[in-house]
Amino acid sequence: MTAGAGTPVAIKGAAFTIPADPAERPQLRGSACPSCGARFAGQRAICLGCGHRGLDECLLSPLGVVWTFTIVHQKPPGAILEPPYVIAQIRLQDGPFTQSIVTGCSVTDVRVGMPVVMTLYDTDRMSDGDRVVAFAFRPGTDAT
């Protein structure tokens, strides 16, 4: 991500870590079931797998694979991305699915089954003097 003035803050509507050390990977915040082990992106109160009430907060794996994707060619109202860009459903290594844009490669290079890693995405927007940051996934594996 590009360096800029102001403290980076997570965009409204998404929950993830923004490590102070750029060498560390950002991670999505999720929920983990203490009973059956199922994991979910975002905050949930009740496990969809076993019905257990009261899930633990957790950090999800930054690694995943593209489950499916599309290349968007028409700009939706209010979006900051310029088409063409890729939306994908990503299956994280520890189980849950999440939806994200894919960056760091040509849009025509994205494939079902492609390994991806989570990265930060600077929105070039400010909020109360803070830099608004979103997340994306880019091609890559544990080694990269």
Choose the one of Zn ion, another protein, none that binds residue 35, judging by a C-beta under 5 to 8 angstroms depending on kind. Zn ion
- 114 lies in the site for Zn ion, by CB under 5 A: no
DSSP 75: P
DSSP classification of residue 16:
B
CA distance linking residue 42 with residue 95, whole number of Å: 13
Report the nearest approach of another protein to the CB of residue 66 (Å): 9
Instruction: Give yes or no for a contact between 130 and 95, defined as CB atoms under 8 angstroms apart.
Output: no
CB of 77 or CB of 129, closer to another protein:
77
Q: Which of 92, 97, 102, 117 is nearest to 72 (CA)?
A: 102
On whether the CB atoms of residues 47 and 38 are closer than 8 A, the answer is yes
* Residues in region 41-100 near another protein by CB under 8 A: 48-49, 67-81, 85, 87-89, 91, 95, 97, 99-100
Cβ atoms of 84 and 55 within 8 Å: the answer is no
Binding another protein (rule: CB under 8 A), the pick from 23, 106, 113, 144 is 113
Q: Which positions lie near another protein, rule CB under 8 A?
A: 11-14, 38, 48-49, 67-81, 85, 87-89, 91, 95, 97, 99-101, 111-113, 121, 123, 125, 134
